[in-house]
Amino acid sequence: MSFTLHDYVLSGNCYKVRLLAQILGVAYTVKPVDFHPGKAHKTPEFLALNPHGTLPVLESDNTLLTDSSAMLVWIAQQFDTTHTWWPTNDAHRLALTVQWLGFSAKLTESIGQLRLHTMLNRPADAATLNTLSTENLRELENHLCEQSIRGLAFLTGDQPTVADIACFAYSALSPDAGIEHTLYPAIRGWLHRIRCLEGFLTMPGIYEAHETRNEHTAAS
Amino acid sequence: MNAALEHALQDWYPIAMLGELAPGERKQSRVLGIDVTVLANDSADETDSTPPITVRAEGAPVHVQQAFDHWWVCLGNAPKPLFSIEEAGEADRRFVPCGVVRVACSPLRAVENFLDIAHFPFVHTGVLGAEPHTEVYKYDVKVDETRDEVIATNIKFYQPQAAKSAEGGIQTEYIYRVPAPMAAVLYKTCPLKPEAMDVIALFVQPLDEQTCDVWPWMALYDDTSTQAELIQFQQLIFLQDRSILENQLPKKLPIDPGHEIPTKADYTSVAYRRWLKKRGAYYGALEAQP
Amino acid sequence: MTTQPVSLSRDLAEKQVMRAELSDVDMAVWRSASGVVSAWENRCPHRGMRLSHGFVRGESLACAYHGWHYNCEGACHYIPAHPELEPPKTIKANLYNVTEASGIIWVNAVGTVSPVTLPSNTQAVRSVSVHCSLEIAAQAFKDYCSLSPITANTRTEVVSESPYVLALKAPLPANSPTPSMQDKSNPVSVFIALQRVNQTTTVAHITASEHASETDCIALSRWANKVRTHAEVSVGSTE
Ligand SMILES: N[C@@H](CCC(=O)N[C@@H](CS)C(=O)NCC(=O)O)C(=O)O
Ligand code: FES
Ligand SMILES: [Fe+2]
């Protein structure tokens, strides 16, 4: 079943949904909402659709979702015939996936907020958000270090799940908020593995893996 | 006060979009390192002579005017005239102020990037450019003496999606103008009206020499896209540039030749740097004023 | 200036580029498709873009901004805006001396590179960044050998140290199910190579004996995280 995504091009949470849909080859309709500068997500019309006043919003015939993690689950469960993105037949991995989906919300609240402040002048307590962002990135780095010692490439095992998508967005976008990846080697490797996935989609701040293109044969 | 600042103080800079602040609302900002407050006045009735907004720097009101859907300020005592964009008066265009974006870079680097086409295939991949269409063909650059502006013409570049309204790749034509040290205007092929050109401008508010607030503005022929679609197309492009601009070293723009290596594709940038030097516009530049 | 570590070899795979800072020198470190490692000043000669944001194609590093390609000697050999042009020889990236030894990438930004000699039969554990000076970080790792051993009932001993490297002998968990731990005659050695990013940031690159097990390495990784907290608390309390 197809859907409409109420979308903002610079939103990390909207990007999660676009990214998974692209990887799974799901077609959908985009409805841009003037988040900045228009604050259209705080207008009465929009609040009637989503009382939280947040993006993204996913609408289909029988569903209305206002949380990006829920949208990822909804899309994976319907369109991923391999059942790896939402691994319902593996209790352990499914549970870990839910755990890291929960963690992804902490990234939105720290890095996501700091990014709106740094990039779009949204008033915020930058020092506190900066501390929180660092704490969260360190937690992710610690986990990914252990995964790499175990020989596992992704958050919950050897294959990516919706949790990788959910945590990818704001980890990858942290430089927009002034936090570089230099001090996070395990995160860097993991971000790169996700960027190299078949069907990967970019957004501003997250470039195409140009290195996967063919080598230029020198002109001389 | 140093000469670079004294020079920059006589120019106009955007500070807010029209209608951005509700009556009575106030915001803090900064221009050329000076704190300013912007207050939208409550004008009680039509006959009231209070201006719609008041901007104060260190307590004293500064010059304010409105143009191109923005409020502009000048903090100097001898303001130069604000440049003009004739297309702003064409009623059949869509005017699209795109909102502010903060960038940790020199205001001059922000302008120079806007004049550059060679980065399209790498920074705006699949939209404004794509490999293997990377070649920059010869184009013309001059300083228009009567308007005292840098002008680049006869620029052609292949673009996969030149505008929100474009269907598939087209060979796009560009003209660039630099009418003030911290503003740039481009004219490009309009996909929906081939005989006309879309106008896109970058108005830069220098917070200090290494930080700026950038206010993109467009005047387009497009009766199919929504306002949100047009704004987001522009934000998509500009936020790709932001990641570049925050990573150029040195942070301030080297105006004198020798620090960086231009090629033929960079003639506009070379002309811009020369023009800045000639008029003494050193605010945001690496070199101290000679 | 001395030779310092910038990364574990494991963390810079083929066709990858990363940023590293060494005593405030900003550099791009990259590995070509065939495995050659280079460390360059982090500035593209064209318009100053950090080369660490670029991308590797084959044996070249390309700049993210306009795609200029540089070969392993730092020479620019392709300018996409002028595909037919042979770039002048004068367009060159600024190179630093770099080498790989004992699973670590070492750089000297001003002189010849001479890494501290470590055993070659080690495995990568992790790199951990600490917000404190190199001296405080080194002290914290030493303190923690005795104060809070890697696991209960064991003591870790510092066997050698130089300004940038600590070698520790770490008998890992006594109750560990792994054979390596029960083998008292062949304890796990741990090597910590320290990188001075700047006055307030240090990175510890940690490797261990080849025979350390997965469990050992995970214990070490968690231990390193605890040492970081300890070091940063001690900085916080003196500020
Ligand atoms: N739990 C929601 C949170 C969504 C969220 O915070 N979205 C941001 C944009 S990325 C938003 O709409 N913020 C509203 C605001 O900041 O005004 C989700 O994950 O979808
Ligand atoms: S700045 Fe590197 S190619 Fe232009
Ligand atoms: Fe651009």
Domain of A205: which CATH number?
1.20.1050.10
How many Å lie between the alpha carbon of A111 and the closest alpha carbon of chain B?
A: 16
Q: Interface of chain A against chain B, CB under 8 Å?
A: 8-10, 32-34, 36-38, 40, 118-121, 175-176, 178, 202-205, 207-208, 210, 213
- The per-residue pLDDT of chain C, averaged, comes to 87
Per-residue confidence (pLDDT) for residue C176, from 0 to 100:
47
Atom of ligand 2 nearest to the CA of B119: 4
HSE (side-chain half, CA atoms, 13 Å) at C189: 15
Cβ pair B248:C49 closer than 8 A: yes
Pick the last residue of a domain from A49, A79, A109. Answer: A79
Pick the last residue of a domain from A59, A79, A99. Answer: A79
**Alpha helices (H) in chain B, listed in sequence order:** 3-8, 107-114, 120-123, 227-245, 267-279
Give the residue numbers spanning the domain of A137. Answer: 91-219
Per-residue confidence (pLDDT) for residue A219, from 0 to 100:
36
Residues whose CB falls within 8 Å of the CB of residue C139, separated by 6 or more in sequence, listed in order: C231
CA B170, CA B198: separation in Å to the nearest integer?
Answer: 15
- Coil vs helix vs strand at B279: helix
**Alpha helices (H) in C148-183, listed in sequence order:** 179-182
C-alpha distances in Å from residue C201, one per residue of A152, B208, B247, C195: 29, 27, 20, 9
On whether residue A45 sits in a domain, the answer given is yes
- CA nearest C125 in A: which residue? A149
The pair of three-digit structure tokens given for residue A124, joined into one six-digit string: 């915020």
Cβ pair A204:B243 closer than 8 A: yes
Ligand nearest the Cα atom of residue B111: 3
Number of Cβ within 10 Å of residue C154's Cβ equals 17
Cβ pair B102:A8 closer than 8 A: no
Q: Per-residue pLDDT tens for C166-189? A: 777 665 544 444 444 445 566 778
Angle at alpha carbon of residue B116, lines to B113 and B121, rounded to 5°:
105
Nearest-CA residue for atom 17 of ligand 1:
A54
- Coil vs helix vs strand at B86: helix
Per-residue confidence (pLDDT) for residue C160, from 0 to 100:
67
Chain C contact for B210 (CB, 8 A cutoff): no
CATH topology agreement for domains B3-40+48-74 and B87-279:
no
pLDDT tier for residue C234 given thresholds of 50, 70 and 90: confident
Per-residue confidence (pLDDT) for residue B47, from 0 to 100:
65
B261 in Cβ contact with C91 (< 8 Å)? yes
Atom of ligand 1 nearest to the CA of A39: 17
Per-residue confidence (pLDDT) for residue A218, from 0 to 100:
40
Residues facing residue B55 across a β-bridge: B38
Chain C contact for B247 (CB, 8 A cutoff): yes
Nearest-CA residue for atom 3 of ligand 2:
C66
Mutation pick from C65, C70, C89, C92 vs chain B, by most beta carbons of B within 10 Å, is C65
Per-residue confidence (pLDDT) for residue C238, from 0 to 100:
52
Per-residue confidence (pLDDT) for residue C164, from 0 to 100:
77
Domain shared by A59 and A111, yes or no? no
Show which of residues 142-201 on chain B sit within 8 Å of chain C, judged by CB atoms: none
Q: Per-residue pLDDT tens for B12-56? A: 999 999 999 999 999 999 999 999 999 999 876 666 677 899 999
On whether residue A172 sits in a domain, the answer given is yes
Please tell me if the CB atom of residue C53 comes closer than 6 angstroms to any atom of ligand 2: no
Please tell me if the CB atom of residue C105 comes closer than 6 angstroms to any atom of ligand 2: no
pLDDT tier for residue C1 given thresholds of 50, 70 and 90: low
Number of domains in chain A: 2
Whether the bond between A56 and the residue before it is cis, its omega within 30 degrees of 0, is: yes
C-alpha distances in Å from residue A208, one per residue of A22, A174, B175: 14, 17, 28
Q: Per-residue pLDDT tens for B225-239? A: 999 999 999 999 999
- Residue of C130, C134, C160, C132 lying closest to C145 (CA atoms): C160
Nearest-CA residue for atom 4 of ligand 2:
C66
Per-residue confidence (pLDDT) for residue C161, from 0 to 100:
73
Please tell me if the CB atom of residue C49 comes closer than 6 angstroms to any atom of ligand 2: yes
Q: Per-residue pLDDT tens for B137-182? A: 999 999 999 999 999 999 999 999 989 988 889 899 999 999 999 9
Domain shared by A196 and A174, yes or no? yes
Averaged pLDDT, B106-125: 98
Please tell me if the CB atom of residue A104 comes closer than 6 angstroms to any atom of ligand 1: no
Angle at alpha carbon of residue B70, lines to B46 and B209, rounded to 5°:
135
Per-residue confidence (pLDDT) for residue A1, from 0 to 100:
76
Number of Cβ within 10 Å of residue C73's Cβ equals 10
Q: What is the CA(C93)–ligand 2 centre distance, in A?
A: 11
Number of Cβ within 10 Å of residue C197's Cβ equals 23
Domain of A68: which CATH number?
3.40.30.10
Atom of ligand 1 nearest to the CA of A108: 6
Angle at alpha carbon of residue A200, lines to A150 and B165, rounded to 5°:
160
Q: What is the CA(A137)–ligand 2 centre distance, in A?
A: 30
CA B194, CA A168: separation in Å to the nearest integer?
Answer: 41
CA C222, CA B252: separation in Å to the nearest integer?
Answer: 42
Please tell me if the CB atom of residue A110 comes closer than 6 angstroms to any atom of ligand 1: no
How many Å lie between the alpha carbon of B243 and the closest alpha carbon of chain A?
A: 6
- Residue of A75, A16, A22 lying closest to A198 (CA atoms): A22
Number of Cβ within 10 Å of residue C78's Cβ equals 23
A18 in Cβ contact with A11 (< 8 Å)? no
Amino acid at C77: H
Domain shared by A99 and A34, yes or no? no
- Where exactly are the structural domains of chain B? 3-40+48-74, 87-279
Query: How is domain B3-40+48-74 classified at the architecture level of CATH?
Result: Single Sheet (2.20)
Q: What's the CATH class of domain B87-279?
A: alpha beta
B141 in Cβ contact with B177 (< 8 Å)? no
Number of Cβ within 10 Å of residue C223's Cβ equals 24
Which of A13-27, B252-266, C182-196, C199-213 is predicted with the least confidence, judged by mean pLDDT? C182-196
Per-residue confidence (pLDDT) for residue A220, from 0 to 100:
31
pTM: 0.95
Whether the predicted pLDDT of C159 surpasses 80: no
CA B64, CA B73: separation in Å to the nearest integer?
Answer: 5
CA C67, CA A191: separation in Å to the nearest integer?
Answer: 22
Interface ipTM: 0.96
How many Å lie between the alpha carbon of B180 and the closest alpha carbon of chain C?
A: 22
Residues constituting chain C: 239
Cβ pair B244:C85 closer than 8 A: no
Per-residue confidence (pLDDT) for residue C239, from 0 to 100:
45
CA B160, CA A217: separation in Å to the nearest integer?
Answer: 23
A55 in Cβ contact with A35 (< 8 Å)? yes
Nearest-CA residue for atom 16 of ligand 1:
A54
Per-residue confidence (pLDDT) for residue C157, from 0 to 100:
65
Whether the predicted pLDDT of C31 surpasses 90: yes
Residues in chain A, pLDDT under 70: 213-220
Per-residue confidence (pLDDT) for residue C170, from 0 to 100:
64
DSSP string for residues in B149-208: EEEEEEEEEEETT-STT--S-EEEEEEEEEEETTEEEEEEE-TT-TTSEEEEEEEEEEEE
Residue located via tokens 């890291």 = A100
Q: Buried b / exposed e across B76-110, counting CB within 10 Å, b at 16+? A: beebeebbebebeeeeebebbbbbbbbbbbbbbbb
Query: For residue B226, which residues of chain A lie inside 8 Å, CB to CB?
Result: 32
The pair of three-digit structure tokens given for residue B20, joined into one six-digit string: 């951005």
DSSP string for residues in A44-55: HHHHHH-TT--S
Cβ pair A8:B243 closer than 8 A: no
Residue located via tokens 């492009």 = B237
On whether residue A86 sits in a domain, the answer given is no
Burial class (CB in 10 A: 0-12, 13-18, 19+), A123: exposed
- Residue of C169, C83, A10 lying closest to B231 (CA atoms): A10
- Residue of B5, B29, B20 lying closest to B212 (CA atoms): B29
Element (H, E) at B26: strand B26-31
Domain shared by A62 and A138, yes or no? no
Residue located via tokens 């960079």 = B266
Q: Per-residue pLDDT tens for B198-220? A: 999 999 999 999 999 999 999 99
CA A199, CA A22: separation in Å to the nearest integer?
Answer: 6
- The per-residue pLDDT of chain B, averaged, comes to 95
CA B73, CA B51: separation in Å to the nearest integer?
Answer: 13
Cβ pair A149:C217 closer than 8 A: yes
Pick the last residue of a domain from A79, A110, A140. Answer: A79
